[in-house]
Amino acid sequence: MTNCNFCDDEINYHEIIDCITFALDTRDPYTGGHSQRVSDMALEVCKILNLDKNETEKIHIAAHLHDIGKIGVPDAVLQKQGKLTENEWQQMKKHPEYGANILKKSHRLSELSEIVLMHHERFDGKGYPFGKSGNEIPLGARIIAICDSIDAMTSNRCYRKSLSFETCYNEIKINLGKMYDPQIGQKVLDNWSQIIGVLAQA
C-alpha cells in the first residue's frame, strides 16, 4: 500500500494508538512508557536523517507500536521479576510476530507490520525472528532498534539498574555494524545530546 499517506488524520491515529498502548500498559507498566519514549526518539532520528513527512510519520507510529505484540506474551513471562529461562525467552521473542499479525488486521496499519516484525533484527544478521541483515531490514526497524536499545539501557529493570548515558553511548558505538546500522548509528552519536534530550522531556 505504497500510496497510503500517514499524514492524513494524524491526530486521530495517535489517539487510537494511545488507546492500544494503554491496553498493554495495564499489563506491563514499563512497556507503555517505553514505547512512548522510543517513539519520541525515533521521530527525532527521522528529523536528523531528513526523511520526508510521510516516511517519518510511518516510523513514528511503528515505533509507538513496536512492542504491541507483548500483549500476546503470557503474564508469567512478561511480568517475571528475574532472568527468563530458555523456554520463556523463546516465548518473549515471539512478540514481534504477534505485533505484526495484529497490525495486519488493519488496512492502514498493515503497512507498518514489517517494521514491527523486524525491530529485533541485527545489522550483522544475528537478530530475530529471521536473521535478516543490512538493508534487508526496513529502515524504520533499523531506526527503532537503536532507539529501543537506548531506552532499555538507560531505564531501570528488575534485574539491573539503569546505565549511564555515557555507557550507553559507548555501547552503541562499539556495536555499529553489529547490532546497529553504522550510518544511522553514527548520526545518532553525532547528535547524542539532541537524542537523549528527548528522554529528559518524557
The one catalytic residue among 47, 53, 58, 70: 70
> For the purposes of burial, counting CB atoms within 10 Å of the CB of 130, is it exposed (0-12), middle (13-18) or buried (19 or more)?
middle
Q: Residue-wise over 66-88: b if at least 16 C-beta within 10 A, else e?
A: bbbbbbebeeebbeeeeeeeeeb
94 is catalytic: no
Cα–Cα distances in angstroms (integers) from residue 74 to residues 67, 93, 159, in the given order: 14, 12, 19
Supply the residues annotated as catalytic: 70
